[in-house]
Structure 1
Amino acid sequence: MSKLTQTGPLINLHQRNSIQEIQVHRHEPIIPPPGSRRKRLGMQVLNGLARLELLLMKDDLLADGRAEKTRTALASEIERTLTSITAALSLHFESQEVSLKKYMQDMSLVTVFPLSAKRAAANNAAPASKDIHSHFHQMNLTNQLVSIALQLQNDLRLTNHKYMAHQLALLYIGGMYLKYKSRVESRFDDVKALTNSAEEPLLSMELTQWLRSLTTDIVTEALFISRPLPTQSSGLIKFLDKLKEPNAED
């Protein structure tokens, strides 16, 4: 008897378990609840204002010496973005007249997007330290600090610590919290001397434990304890809190 008749098929085309289970949505509403519509609008407006703020900032920076073609293209892009935001507001609120100015004031977005607020004729008396640019600046500093600290922790596992002093210096000048600067200063010379002592230097157990403890404290402070980031992001936090509030008009 031929072996072809004794062996199984390479692919079984009739396996029932190859059919995916049908997802059941009978408990989900056909029409999304009002709260979700309100949140979707909020995210849509937030995205539009972020784009508008960037365009307006570009418009201010390039105000002098621009070609007519560039000026016209940028103005058109700004108007399209404004039109998109106002159209989303009109579609959501329907018969109610809710302008971009009123929405920004009601949702605490005036401080977050000062250039857009000015364009929408909404007053902006808030400090610049709470606008979207300050938020991203603080986010960037925190990300840089955490990245360097985590890189130092990973490099402690290597058998060559040649560049530890250089990385520690980057950590020191990379927006580190003041209370940790003295800890770096107290042992930096020791780390530098050791890393310059050989072609493939290795930190001592004491310095390794010290550096691991330092970087762990910095990461914990940056991500879980410190308040600078929430302070810089207070405008966005207020906006997100307002999106959670129940609203009868929705």
Structure 2
Amino acid sequence: MVEILGAPVIISCSYDPSYKVDVYLHDQLWGGSMTSNDLAIEVMTLISELEVLCDKESHQDGNQTKYQRGSQKKTYTATFETQAALLRDKLEKLMAKHPDPKPNSLQEYLSQTGLGTLYPRSAHYLEGLRGKSQAPKKSPMDGYLSHLAVVNQVNALCKQLHHDAQNLSNHKYIAHQVALLYQSLNQLGNVKALLSYRNNIEGMFKKLKAALELTAADGDSVPHLPDEYKQWLLELTVSLQEVMSSFNSSFNQPLLPAMGFLQQTL
């Protein structure tokens, strides 16, 4: 005979609203009231994300059409639609925060500010034309992110080399880092503003590498830079960082459309 116990082992507590955790995963980092300039920068940030999504999706569509026949309708991945819809919702919410006079629509705002021209793929999507007409293949912002990544890489390498030359006792990898810096400069193009730096590195690289090998061969446990080459490297990295931060137009063509918008806005 099985005895049934009347009392439960444990009684769960009722839900207390005070323990609720509000999730702000997709909310803006920029809180409070916004000026028109603040809003323009926020919109530009979001629409940049949308442009990347649209560009990626258009390439995927192009690859899919190779295996499609006739007038088979294109389909778009749920991932794209979900992410794009989320960005669109954020943009619409920003328009509600626009100081008076408010634009009649997000599309009107993009047209008035010129962002629709800078990001034509995003404008195409936001106007509801996706699937009805072909999205633009080219954009003034093409190359912006990749170019900015190279500029940032040059800056990062300069800071690292400057630090390592001054603070490390083991300079085993300095020559390799200088070679990476040279390759990064090459990616910015053969422009006059950077030619002297490239020539400078070309003229010193073999000497620097030989000097490191010589210090190791002289009985030191690790290779280290002689003072002459250390000073050269410090001056080179400081000067290069100044050039990168100046955003010289001769090698920063991909950045000019965005810089023009920001200068006009701010």
Same fold flag (TM > 0.5): yes
1:82 and 2:91 correspond: no
| Residue of structure 1 aligned with 2:160, choices 140, 143, 151 | 151
After alignment, is 184-193 or 194-203 more displaced? 194-203
> 1 CA distance for matches of 2:117 and 2:251?
16
Match of 1:23 in 2: none
Kept after mapping to 1: 8 A contact 2:120/2:136: no
Where structure 2 has 5 or more consecutive residues not aligned to the other structure, the ranges are: 1-31, 66-73, 130-134, 187-193
Residue in 1 that maps onto 2:45: 47
Distance (whole Å) between structure 1 residues aligned to residue 223 and residue 78 of structure 2: 60
Structure 1 stretch 94-103 or stretch 75-84: which is displaced more? 94-103
Give the counterpart letter for 1:148 in structure 2. Answer: L
- Secondary structure of the 1:196 match is helix
Change (3 A) 1:78 1:154: closer
C-alpha distance 70-118 of structure 1, shift in aligned 2 (>3 A): closer
Instruction: Give, in angstroms, the shift of residue 44 of structure 1.
Output: 4.0
Partner residue of 2:229?
Answer: 207
Which residue number corresponds to residue 168 of structure 1?
178
Find the aligned partners of 1:186 and 1:111 in 2 and give their Cα distance. 44
Which residue pairs with 2:121 in the alignment? 115
1:218 aligns with 2:225: no
1:72-123 Cα shifts (integer Å, max 9, x gaps): 442344345335434543674889763444322321213432311333569x
Which residue does the alignment assign to 1:194? 211
Instruction: Give the deviation of 1:136 after TM superposition.
Output: 1.9
2:198 counterpart (168, 175, 181)? 181
Contact 1:57 1:115 in 2 (8 A): yes
Mapped to 1, the partners of 2:53 and 2:253 lie a distance apart of 25
Residue range with higher mean Cα deviation, 134-143 or 222-231: 222-231
Shift of 1:227: 2.8
With over 3 angstroms needed to count, the CA separation of the structure-2 counterparts of 1:218 and 1:115, relative to structure 1, is: same
% identity of equivalent residues: 24
Aligned position for 1:248: none
- Counterpart CA distance in 1 for 2:45 and 2:234 is 40
**Residues 235 and 94 of structure 1: is their aligned pair in 2 closer, same or farther, counting only changes over 3 Å?**
same
Distance change in 2, residues 1:173/1:202 (3 Å): same
Matched-pair contact (CA < 8 Å) for 1:108–1:238:
no
CA deviation after TM superposition for structure 1 residue 219, in Å: 1.2
Any conservation in 2 of the 1:163–1:195 contact (CA below 8 Å)?
Answer: no
Q: Does 1:103 align with 2:100?
A: no
How many residue pairs end up in the alignment? 207
C-alpha distance in structure 1 between counterparts of 2:38 and 2:119, whole Å: 19
The C-alpha deviation readout for 1:48-86, integer Å capped at 9, x for no partner, is: 3123213212322332459x9972442344345335434
Alpha carbons 2:161, 2:237 under 8 Å: kept = yes
SS at structure 2 position matched to 1:200: coil
* Unaligned residue ranges in structure 1 (runs of 5+): 1-30, 245-250
Q: Which amino acid aligns with 2:231?
A: Q
Higher mean C-alpha deviation, range 92-101 or range 140-149: 92-101
Deviates more, 1:208-217 or 1:221-230: 221-230
AA partner of residue 38 (structure 1) = S
- Distance in structure 1 (CA, Å) of the matches to 2:227 and 2:93: 63
Kept after mapping to 2: 8 A contact 1:111/1:127: no
Residue in 1 aligned with 2:249? 227
RMSD value, Cα: 3.6
The 1:125/1:107 distance shift into structure 2, 3 A limit, reads farther
Q: Which amino acid aligns with 1:110?
A: G
